Amino acid sequence: MGNGTVLIVDDEPNAVKVLSAILLEADYNVVESIDVDMALKALHQEDVDVIITDLRMPGRDGMQLFEYVTENHPDIPVIFLTAYGSVDSAVHAITHGAFYYFIKPPDYLKLKSILSRAVEQRRLKREIDTLRKRLAEETSLPRIIGKTPQMLKIFNTIETIKDSESSVIICGETGTGKELIARALHFGSDRRDRPFVAVNCAAIPRELLESELFGYEKGAFTGAVSRRIGRFDEASGGTLFLDEIGELELSVQAKLLRVLQEREIERLGSNRKIKVHFRLISSTNRDLGREVKTGNFRKDLLYRINVIQINVPLLKERQDDIPLLVSEYVNEFCIREKKVLTLSDEVMGIFQDYHWPGNVRQLRNVMERAVVLSKGDTITSRELPEEFISLKKREEPLHSLKTLSEVESEAVRNALRVCNGNKSKAARLLGISRKALYKRLKDWKIE
């Protein structure tokens, strides 16, 4: 049933029946036990959310049951029912972690309220534990998320070529996850225990890029106070990932081509040749074929690096992956921020309509922001950046329109609510016959 499963433990059968009836009416699933032994069996057979137990019972009592639960099922809240004479014992239980206690006979309205809080606490604990386990199980293997045909094709390509020595170029716009694919190729391969060296060719100043790649000897230039191992050398035996390779100057392109042909380098300031052997994976957000035509990229280097090409789609081209990515990022940042959050349907609708110029990287940043800013248990449009809010405002007039059927259905539901479920009164209030009302209830499956 909807609200959770409650295990009632009491040696008085009538007390069990009364409480059971009240909770069943409140949409709880109820498991009944007249002693602790029955309760322990039920714990092994049922997924119990809360235990409501009498304190004093023949044989093993409620306190012994509480101690067992605390030891073996610490996520299940325990609520005590106790007679006036044993309040001290109940207070003792509270100080040792029991959720609440009531003096018999309990105030059933208050009990239902406390019970609702207990079920929610258990749900949150389980979700947090699940998130923690997922975090503990994470390995160094990068997770690429997707189920669309474009992404499945990429997964198949990675699986096919991961152990090859052939050069790979990954093409796609900024933020589409090119480095993640490069890491998946390396860490999924038989090179996984060897170096993965990533160089962002767009982020390193051009005058420093050559020394970064080749390394240098002490005294090779002003400021070279000690020997520096270059990235080519570091990657030997493993994988070198040149991110945004289209940003390399022509002079550096020529030297890279020579390294790929001869598999050896010379550090700046040295004449000694050093053998290097690495797999090259490159990425670019440029059309390198066009760059060749305009003279900005060497044709012979393109042939060398473009043995296998992987094209990464834009996020807006893989809309069906957005819910998967959102779920992953919400979980990731909830673990970090120690929160448990869900995403509103409103926000998911906005995400599906948005054009995502920054692709997956932008989505991840938006979800991090939303999780950090969220104060309730649901992420709403209030936690989104301004560009999403303006998108929502532009679309609101269209989304706010309801069909005639929806308006009628809402009117019928409101009338039934006002008339406490009395169908004759509701029909009169709506100005229709009882027969017409029953037809609408049947058509719309309104209970």
pLDDT attached to residue 398: 45
Please tell me if the domain spanning 5-132 has the same topology as the one spanning 160-312.
yes
Question: pLDDT for 48-103, tens place per residue?
Answer: 999 999 888 888 888 889 989 988 888 899 999 887 666 677 677 787 888 988 88
pLDDT attached to residue 140: 41
- Report the topology of domain 316-400: Helicase, Ruva Protein; domain 3 (1.10.8)
For 160-312, CATH gives 3.40.50.300
What parts of the chain have a pLDDT lower than 70? Answer: 1-2, 84-87, 90, 130-142, 390-405, 407, 447
pLDDT attached to residue 223: 73
Question: pLDDT for 414-431, tens place per residue?
Answer: 778 777 778 888 777 777
pLDDT attached to residue 86: 66
Instruction: Break the chain into its structural domains and give their ranges.
Output: 5-132, 160-312, 316-400, 404-443
pLDDT attached to residue 138: 46
Domain 5-132 has CATH 3.20.20.70: no
pTM: 0.57
pLDDT attached to residue 133: 57
pLDDT attached to residue 85: 60
- Would you state the CATH architecture of domain 404-443? Orthogonal Bundle (1.10)
Strand 215-216 versus strand 228-229 pairing type: antiparallel
Distances (CA, A) of 350 to 319, 341, 345, 346, 374: 12, 18, 9, 6, 17
pLDDT attached to residue 206: 80
